[in-house]
Amino acid sequence: MSGRLGRCQLYGEGMTFLEQFRIAFPELSNATDERVEFFHKLALNAIAPSRWGALYDEGLLNLVAHNLVTRYGKDGNGSPVTAVTQGKTSKTVGKLSVGLESKSRGIYANAGDFANTVYGRRYWELLQLIKPTLWVVGGGVGCAGTVQH
């Protein structure tokens, strides 16, 4: 396999996307190659390399992992994941009380489905880096382009 569908440069020149996916996410080793390739093909239509620049491969890998886990569970071969584990913000022992952080706060407030997996959260973080920055000039709004880090 070659061309846009099969090649990814994040972990090494000439490695296929599937090879790099396996290196990046060993915890998803139970996911079949067919499932990974299916979500890879879908993700290729969702991410424009020209817009993502140097973050393209990492964004693509995380989007594929997010979609795979959302559909087939945390190992890529089971039940769907519907929510990410929430961190505790407080705790009481007498008469038991536990406070949980909300996934709808902070940088994930508008992340929607992406807030449900660690891969989706990383994808969302990368997406925030490549979004156009708006600025005001002479009463009008202009686009400063993409943020480069």
Write down the pLDDT at residue 100: 56
Q: What is the pLDDT of residue 21?
A: 95
Q: How many CA atoms lie within 13 A of 75 on its CB side?
A: 5
Report pLDDT digits (tens) over 111-143.
Answer: 888 988 999 999 999 999 988 755 555 554 444
Per DSSP, the three-state class of 90 is strand
98 SS3 class: strand
- What separation, in Å, do the N-terminal and C-terminal C-alpha atoms of the chain show? 31
pLDDT, residue 116, reads 87
- Residues 99-115 have a mean pLDDT of 72
Tokens read off for 103: 């996934």
pLDDT at 76: 76
- Most confidently predicted of 13-17, 87-91, 102-106: 13-17
Indicate if the pLDDT at residue 5 is higher than 60: no
In contact, 136 and 120? CB cutoff 8 Å: no
Mean pLDDT of 18-36: 94
- For every residue of 29-60, DSSP letters joined together read TTS-HHHHHHHHHHHHTT--HHHHGGGHHHHH
Higher pLDDT, 22 or 106: 22
Give per-residue pLDDT as tens, 43-93: 999 999 999 999 999 999 999 999 999 999 877 777 666 555 555 556 666
How many helices and strands (H and E) does the chain possess? 5, 4
